[in-house]
Amino acid sequence: MNLTKTILILLLVFIVIGCSEEKTQDIAEKYLAEQGYEVITTIESPAVSSFTLVEEDVSDEKKPMLAGTIVKRMWLVQEQELKDYKGEKIEVKQFVVENHPLDDWVSEYDETLKSVGETHVTLLVVDGDVIGGTSAPGLNRSVAGNPQFSLDGKTFEEVHPGKSYTVWSDDWIETYLDYIKYE
């Protein structure tokens, strides 16, 4: 009898977890469609799938390789502060889309570097709400430090007018880097 109850409880837990994941995925895809973007591909295993800003210093915990850099790059082009989501799990969903402003992107420094007509987007989702995201053009060749834009294609300078990237970066690292828990 106890074994049957245990199996039923485990089954219920798996169903809830599966539905929760599917729900977040559906919310993300619906959001992109509402923005006018057409989802071409879902990226199933992002380098960072979720994270939480916590109160205690977690710098000694094992972290995914480059996780801090990845989250910092995501937050580089957000209008809101990460502290606004302290204690909340931020889920990361990634897609390749079309009909995005960056589909026609051409580098201002090297005109041979340009988009192939698709854009990579990352959505940040908290409790079923898309709170932000990033975008980057799908490029015609590999480059180090792929350009990072806000979800709607704005640059750091457009999102943070008058701010120095160096000052922003130093402040972000000091304020957040050791307080992000990765899941």
Q: What is the mean pLDDT of residues 30-42?
A: 97
Query: How many CA atoms lie less than 13 Å away from 181 in the CB half-sphere?
Result: 13
pTM metric for this prediction: 0.83
- Determine the pLDDT at residue 15: 43
Q: What is the mean pLDDT of residues 119-124?
A: 97
136: pLDDT strictly greater than 90: yes
11: pLDDT strictly greater than 60: no
Express each pLDDT in 91-116 by its tens digit.
Answer: 999 999 999 999 999 999 999 999 99
23: pLDDT strictly greater than 60: yes
- Structural contact between residues 71 and 48, judged by C-beta atoms closer than 8 angstroms: yes
39-48, 90-99, 118-127: range with lowest mean pLDDT: 39-48
Q: List the one residue out of 183, 152, 151, 148 whose CA is nearest residue 168.
A: 148
130: pLDDT strictly greater than 60: yes
Question: What share of the chain has pLDDT > 70, as a percent?
Answer: 87
DSSP structural state of residue 37:
P
- Structural contact between residues 71 and 40, judged by C-beta atoms closer than 8 angstroms: no
Q: Distance between CA 83 and CA 97 in Å, rounded?
A: 29
Express each pLDDT in 49-108 by its tens digit.
Answer: 999 999 998 988 777 667 888 899 999 999 999 999 999 999 999 999 999 999 999 999
pLDDT-derived band at 22 (thresholds 50, 70, 90) equals low
